[in-house]
Structure 1
Amino acid sequence: MNLLNLRTAFIAAPLLVLAYGVIRILDGLDGERGPGLAWTTGHLAFVAALLLFVPIYWRLRRMAGSGALATATATAGTIGVAALVGQFGIDLVVGFMSADHAAMSVLFDQVQSVPGVSFAVYDGLPFLFYVGQLALVTQLAAQRRVKLWTPVLVLADLALPFVDKDLIPLGALCLLVSFVPLARASAAVAPARPAAVYA
């Protein structure tokens, strides 16, 4: 991903999360979420955001000095992305296969009853996405490469959905504010060597 596209990713990822949060609220106005166009569109928006976080994590790693800690947290974040893509992929398939919300619940129960699935895509590995994101930005703040309020806003973005998922749009705005200076700062990082994948 070239530098211009990478800077765009820092802005596009929070905006896609914002879109997901707004669509999710609209989808629930009738008291149920999914299946249907809103369910599918919202989930696709979030999957697109997740995919953008992969190069973002590895750029943050490079900005933090590419050391062992930065590499470990970028790797953790990437594993979390993969887990969440799996989760949202399941959501999309269930939505396509179901005639109504009740049918979705039955399919979700069947999927989550498979050994290992719950940890891999619901209750375990997805949290690495959040841990990696906060850890990388905190490292940058500790190195004074970003303002101290940046990890605070990232933490707000990560915490608000756990308070109430309807707060996802507000969290996404916090993330956008924190990512704008990161997008600018990423331009000051030396270009990656050809052998690097995402650095």
Structure 2
Amino acid sequence: MRSLVAAPVLFGAYGVARVLDGLDGSRGPGLAWAVGHLCFLAGLALFVPIFGRLRSVAGGGATATAGYVIGLVGALALTAQFTIDVVVGFLSADHDAMSPRFDAVKAIPGVEPVVYGVVPLLFYVGLLMLVAQLALQRRVPWWSPVLVLVQAVVPLATKDLIPVGAVLLLVAFAPLMRARPVRPGALAQGAL
């Protein structure tokens, strides 16, 4: 499945663009800001089929469906966040002009927790749930969910490590390239 490769590559491209954007001492607006954010948005869009595939490979069921839904909710929140970033970047003449626009958006009730706070983290929670379930089913190696977790945590040290996280995600997804979906209930019956 090409999206298993393309999504991490696009996330990595965002990370590289972010690093390049910060070389002048500030981030956004400009070409690197716009291209980076658009790459991340394209990568997020690819997670719709990725989450669906992970759910299918896990055999469906309540846990896989919960991971699928949680991941998609987080992806929607991240999509809103990055769309706001792109729009603010396009509307702003320079970096200083961006702050009041972001402040105005964040002042809208509910936007802070839903778009910038807890809800975007659900993307990573859902992804980890699905890949961990596949590891428990021995459909992927034990290290796949470990790499998914590490790639989610590494940027917390510094967002300049986003490209490293993208490489880790690509490696974590490698075993999924050959994993095949199973019909719901087949895993419970022991048939693969």
Task: Indicate whether the TM-score tops 0.5.
Answer: yes
Q: Which residue of 1 aligns with 2:90?
A: 96
Superposed displacement of residue 58, structure 1:
1.1
Task: Compute the TM-score of the two structures, normalised by the length of structure 2.
Answer: 0.93
Q: Which residue of 2 aligns with 1:24?
A: 18
| 1: CA distance, partners of 2:178 / 2:25 | 41
Amino acid at match of 2:105: V
Q: Which residue of 1 aligns with 2:61?
A: 67
Amino acid at match of 2:181: V
Two-structure CA RMSD over aligned residues (Å)? 1.3
Map 1:39-188 onto structure 2 (within 5 A): 39-185=33-179, 188=180
Unaligned ranges ≥5, structure 2: 185-192
Superposed displacement of residue 133, structure 1:
0.4
Amino acid at match of 2:152: L
Superposed displacement of residue 190, structure 1:
5.5
The number of residues matched between the two structures is 184
| 1: CA distance, partners of 2:81 / 2:88 | 11
Which stretches of structure 1, 4 residues or more, deviate above 4 A after TM superposition?
A: none
Superposed displacement of residue 86, structure 1:
0.3
Unaligned ranges ≥5, structure 1: 1-6, 193-199
Deviations 1:122-167 (A, max 9, x none): 1021111010001100000011110001111111110111111000
Q: Which residue of 2 aligns with 1:10?
A: 4
Superposed displacement of residue 117, structure 1:
0.5
Superposed displacement of residue 191, structure 1:
8.8
| 2: CA distance, partners of 1:63 / 1:181 | 12
Q: Is the 8 A contact 2:60 2:183 kept in 1?
A: no
